[in-house]
Amino acid sequence: MRIALLSDFHLGYDRFREDARRQAEEALELASQLADVLLIPGDIFDNRSPSPDVLAEAINIFRELSKRQWKARVVKFDGKGETHTEIPVIAIPGTHERRAQNVEDPVDLLGLAGLLVDVSQACAVVEKDGERVAIRGIGGISEERFKEVLKAEDPRPVDGAFNVFMFHQSVYELLPFSQDFIRADELPDGFDLYVNGHIHSRFEGRVHGKPFLISGSTVLTQLKEGEQEQKGFFVFDTSTMSYNYNRINCRRFVHRKIEIEAAEPARVEEEIRKVIEEASAKGDRPIIRIEVDGKLKKGFKNVDLNLSGLAKDYEDKAIVEISRKGVENAGIIAADSKRQAFDNVSVKDYGLGIFLERLRHNEYDMSANPTQLFELLSSEGSREKIVKGAMDSLFNG
């Protein structure tokens, strides 16, 4: 059986919303032609409460998939709730979609509409011509709870099937800056393929001697130097245990650094214009990120650089973002260096990390589910409802 691995569409992403929609649609359409099963390990949406028009975008995209004549079908589901389709489009919610427990997330809604099968803390078995593929998943949760949930769920392979373990978390070997992150050897053993979302760059590795694949996001999000690689998805063949990467059409991304030393603002702006002109010469309106590093000539300050004006001058030729990283003020360098360590972590997860750090500092009882408390405090709704939920979590949970 051929299994397509696609992740992190971030539908509704404000920065590049049309790119997110168009590239997710293309990836899913191409994958449905090349594969028997589609696996989506989280972050279909960019927001846990997407607007009605973003939900409509997703429904229209997935409805087209449901119209296809799939030869593979979901024949068994083991988990809470029930499935409303047999089509082999299997997903889990990611960290961007994570909400408080017992609250429906947008991936749940697509499942209720019969457009996919949600295997968060569940297992689905797909069958085609007598071959079975079992997909066991755990949706994106806070990093400090993932090991606890793994232990409680104790996910195990299904006899007589090709087994996939799908999750959506940071992995310590790829992001070695928090002891809360799961390590590869702590993932459950016995599966034939490990599939992760959350990390937006493509990765190929092995876990317990088996393939471990991360397809990366289908849309540019963080404007890092490493994101200049083309976006796409993997297709894995269970009969040969081989896979290939299929690229999709996406907006070109150019990342450039400009080093300055005692330069006047006019000279810096001239260098920036030169970079933009060269990068946009193909006429395809690329995304260009320019990082300016160094010091201005004595007597000049950051405010003397008209970077926003420069970006606006070229808005018809390119989407330009200019960072004055490290210019003049050493404090900026330190702040930027710290921020870079969190390039692959969402603002929400970063905020949760700070919240947990403060709780530990104040000797809060961490057994009372602080992540649940954070989700409740950051959720939408009336103040009274949020406070009641938080009090229940604290004293009745």
CB 247 within 8 A of CB 232: yes
Domains and CATH numbers, the chain: 2-247 (3.60.21.10), 253-328 (no CATH), 347-395 (no CATH)
Task: Name the β-bridge partners of 203.
Answer: 214
pLDDT digits (tens, 9 = 90+) for 18-73: 999 999 999 999 999 999 999 999 999 999 889 999 999 999 999 999 999 999 99
Which residue shows structure tokens 């990611």?
94
- Cβ neighbours for 61, distance < 8 A, ≥ 6 positions apart: 21, 24, 25, 28
Return the percentage of the chain with pLDDT > 70, whole number. Answer: 80
Instruction: Provide the 3-class DSSP secondary structure of residue 396.
Output: coil
Concatenated DSSP letters for 186-218? GSPSS-SEEEE-S--S-EEEEETTEEEEE--BS
CB 158 within 8 A of CB 123: yes
pLDDT digits (tens, 9 = 90+) for 218-273: 999 878 776 778 899 999 999 999 999 999 999 999 999 999 888 899 999 999 99
